[in-house]
Structure 1
Amino acid sequence: MLESGSSAGIESSIRKDFSHRERAGTQIMPGNYPPILLVGSNSQIFIGPLGRGRRHIHGANVALVALEKPLMVKMGANLHWTEYESTLIPAGTAHELDPQGGWCAVVYSDIYAPRWQAMQPCPGQLPLKCLTAYRKLRGSLQRLIQAQTFDVGLQKELSNALEKSLGTAPKTFNRMQQALRGYLQDHSELDLDAFASHVNLSPSRVQHLLMRELGLSYKRLQHWTRFQSAMGDLENMRSLTEMALELGFSDSSHFSNTFRTTFGISAREAGITGNDLRLWPFPG
């Protein structure tokens, strides 16, 4: 997976970079700022403090950027923690994340309509050791922490930094992505039988193609699309029970367990149910 020899050099560089910024006084200390959730039509970015999460699997490629302390990550069959300033974890990769209580940014984009080329699913791909131009991206994210509004200037700055790191939007999509885009434009819920009928395939064939072309099981993709579709309406869903019912779960316990399995932490730990969350639209 990751080359152990080069990982040691990366870890040394990470520690030097963070300690240099601390000595120079250039590191933004988030203090008591509330977390941020940027919600776009096909993307979400969480910016905030996180504790150590459990082993979990995302339903899309996910980019991580350390904003305060180095990220500690275990991926796949690797039993050892590795330090990162930034990384990209492919969809379907089991991993544990420990931001050491510091602020970090977690960048998501829908697997069927990724906003950036790096988010394009490719079953079997390896995690990235470091994002391109991550220091520029980190600077944009850190400036956003102290902002009172997500104004046009900050939007343009962050959009440019994300494109430098993750690339522009893909120009082509595989058949499962195209089918999902069309289906989810007209349906709020991903139902296996209905989707199979939509693409004129058997449910078993659909499950096979989802795994082959996206690297995900149907059930994991269904949970992911449920959570992603609800992100833009969090302001109106302040209780776990209300959120669970809105997303089609039988009760808050089922919702909480699925959320933790998908994201490694609880909804409360992520801060998405708190009244102080800064929920801002992210055009584009």
Structure 2
Amino acid sequence: MTLELFEPGEVPSVMQPAPAVAIGSLAEPKRWRLYVSATPDAEPLRPLWRLHQGRTLFAGTLDRNASHQHGAPVYLAGLCGSFRLRIRENPWQSCRAALIPAGVPHELDLAGEPVSVLYIEPTVGNAHALAPLVGNAIEVGGALVGATGETGLMRELYEDRASLNWVDAAITDLVDFSQTRARRTLDARVSRAISVLESAEPDTLVSVTNAAQAAGLSVSRLQHLFSEEMGVSFRRYRAWVRMLRAIDEIAAGSSFTEAAHAAGFADQSHFAHDFRKTFGAPASRSLTNVRV
């Protein structure tokens, strides 16, 4: 997928850009400053996961995520400063925000600092819908890497222990604002195939044949068009949908085993294996003791 960048210097006024940091290759990891919460409290902040109408948000601390790729575009924002990011086989970059399209391999190094991670599903928009959130950006390996980006709202959501009460409206408004500046929409035939996936029961494996019928296309044509539009294959996106269902169950209070079965995984080990493959880190790192 080739991103059409917004005009140079064009940054949405709603954004609260962080101080600019130089974007460039790093031979050695930078020395991190300790994160200082704007609302100090004796109890550590717990990870925030929220899935709502095609928008998935994670906010919390991470360490290092090995190379991985997602089934949906993702917007990343460092909540206290820059973080290290590697796209494909390119050199490591230091950035404050980034947009990574679906299917683009990348690695993260947060060194225990907090980050927000926002995914949107095709029913909401594609990578172009998130591009305006990244400021002072350059393109690296098909991704946008920015010295600034939308961080103020994300940090507030992370630090407000009651943010589950208002996170849905806030993320919906943010994405809607960004999407008005997007320059490309998803092919309607691919949208119909995705609707079949998302409306199926969790334990039902939707075949590409069924999806092709809903799209009004041959199987081969749907597979080609799906990969072209989405950046990932039909099969990979199907696995992504199942993974989100499991995460949603855990965020609602289910155990890993309960969530795995509810989403259609064979068992907890199957879920754990796929989670590490999808996110580059164990599920226990970000899904333990989440806010509910």
In 2, Cα distance between the equivalents of 1:149 and 1:266? 27
Residue of structure 2 equivalent to 1:15? none
In 2, Cα distance between the equivalents of 1:90 and 1:200? 26
Q: Please say if 1:101 is aligned against 2:112.
A: yes
In 1, Cα distance between the equivalents of 2:94 and 2:40? 20
SS at match of 2:49: strand
Residue of structure 1 equivalent to 2:17? none
Residue of structure 2 equivalent to 1:228? 244
After superposition, the Cα gap between the structure-2 partners of 1:85 and 1:174, relative to the gap in structure 1 and judged at 3 Å, is same
Residue of structure 1 equivalent to 2:223? 207
**Structure 1 residue 250 displacement after superposition:** 1.9
After superposition, the Cα gap between the structure-2 partners of 1:46 and 1:201, relative to the gap in structure 1 and judged at 3 Å, is same
Contact 2:85–2:95, Cα closer than 8 Å, also in 1: yes
Residue of structure 2 equivalent to 1:76? 88
Q: Please point out which of 60, 65, 68 is paired with 2:77.
A: 65
**TM-score, normalising length from structure 1?**
0.75
Q: Please point out which of 228, 233, 245 is paired with 1:217.
A: 233
In 1, Cα distance between the equivalents of 2:196 and 2:256? 28
SS at match of 1:55: strand
Query: Equivalences for 1:129-148 in 2 at 5 Å?
Result: 129-130=145-146, 134=149, 137-148=150-161
Residue of structure 2 equivalent to 1:268? 284
In 1, Cα distance between the equivalents of 2:100 and 2:39? 25
Q: Which runs of 5+ in 1 are unaligned?
A: 2-6, 13-17, 280-284
Residue of structure 2 equivalent to 1:118? 129
Residue of structure 2 equivalent to 1:4? none
Residue of structure 2 equivalent to 1:282? none
Residue of structure 1 equivalent to 2:136? none
1:133-159 Cα shifts (integer Å, max 9, x gaps): 72xx31222222232323777766555
**TM-score, normalising length from structure 2?**
0.73
Bigger share in strand: 2
After superposition, the Cα gap between the structure-2 partners of 1:27 and 1:114, relative to the gap in structure 1 and judged at 3 Å, is same
Tell me the amino acid that sits aligned with residue 97 of structure 2.
S
Q: Please point out which of 180, 184, 193 is paired with 1:180.
A: 193
The number of aligned residues is 257
Bigger share in helix: 1
**Structure 1 residue 60 displacement after superposition:** 1.0
What is the percent sequence identity of the aligned residues?
Answer: 26
**Structure 1 residue 265 displacement after superposition:** 1.3
Residue of structure 2 equivalent to 1:149? 162
Residue of structure 1 equivalent to 2:63? 51
Q: Please say if 1:241 is aligned against 2:257.
A: yes
After superposition, the Cα gap between the structure-2 partners of 1:39 and 1:236, relative to the gap in structure 1 and judged at 3 Å, is closer
Contact 1:61–1:109, Cα closer than 8 Å, also in 2: yes
Tell me the amino acid that sits aligned with residue 86 of structure 2.
K
Tell me the amino acid that sits aligned with residue 225 of structure 2.
L
Tell me the amino acid that sits aligned with residue 247 of structure 1.
A
In 2, Cα distance between the equivalents of 1:174 and 1:9? 37
After superposition, the Cα gap between the structure-2 partners of 1:26 and 1:228, relative to the gap in structure 1 and judged at 3 Å, is closer
1:22-69 Cα shifts (integer Å, max 9, x gaps): 8xx886678711111122111011000111011111111100000134
Tell me the amino acid that sits aligned with residue 67 of structure 1.
L
**Structure 1 residue 128 displacement after superposition:** 1.1
In 1, Cα distance between the equivalents of 2:120 and 2:49? 13
**Structure 1 residue 106 displacement after superposition:** 0.3
After superposition, the Cα gap between the structure-2 partners of 1:184 and 1:145, relative to the gap in structure 1 and judged at 3 Å, is same
